[in-house]
Amino acid sequence: MERIWKDQLYQEFARIGKCLSSPKRLELLDLLSQGPKSVDQLVKITGMSVANVSQHLQTLHESRLVRSHRQGNFVIYEIAGLSVADFMVSLHRLSEKQLVEVQKLKTEMLQNHVNMEPIGLEELLKRMERGDVVLLDVRPQDEYETGHIPGAISIPMEDLEKHLASLPTDKEIVAYCRGPYCLMSAQAVEILKNKGIQASRLEEGVIEWKRYMEQSNINNEKGGSKR
């Protein structure tokens, strides 16, 4: 009886594994972790056809990793819960730790962007507390509205050059986007530096920031209980 139970249990676990075996579905989950999107939006971002995006979303929906609702003439998709976004962050970190190919691809991704040493979340928070930096979110406006790092201002990447004059010149600009494997922040820093503006790239995104803050709060509570 126990063997039957375990076989059934791991068969259910395998449903998620099979669903995540597609690189395109992983990309869609990453994008939906940033906020709800329509099929048309996902088509535009990924370059996939409507049919392919719809098919992949259906598979993700059947595995209960995404959910959908209708908004006017559009069907809007979103991740089924924050646990899905947490899983994607864990998958990224595990892959980068275990697979040298991921590390190599990440290095190659940034090799055309000079002086792109990122700052970490801990250092960012210290600088923000001192008022030394301006945090810039260069993701699309709808993703910023879904969730952003407190204190960040929104200037989507496509609008950055039009709004350079609105940025302060006496403070460093720290740009962030969708996380470690998103190039928008690197492109933003390059534009800013070319205009003589001091700028750095935050490697992490909103999801990583949330997890960092949660862990910091847990550690603070543990520290407080020992006193």
Catalytic residues: 177
CA distances to 155, 172, 202 from 167, rounded to whole Å, are 10, 10, 17
Q: Which amino acid is at 91?
A: L
Q: Name the burial class of residue 46, with classes exposed (0-12), middle (13-18) and buried (19+) by CB atoms within 10 angstroms of its CB.
A: middle
Residue positions counted in the chain: 227
CA distances to 77, 78, 129, 208 from 70, rounded to whole Å, are 9, 12, 41, 29
Ramachandran area for residue 179 (φ above 0: left; ψ -120 to 50: alpha; else beta): left
Pairing of strands 37-38, 74-79: antiparallel
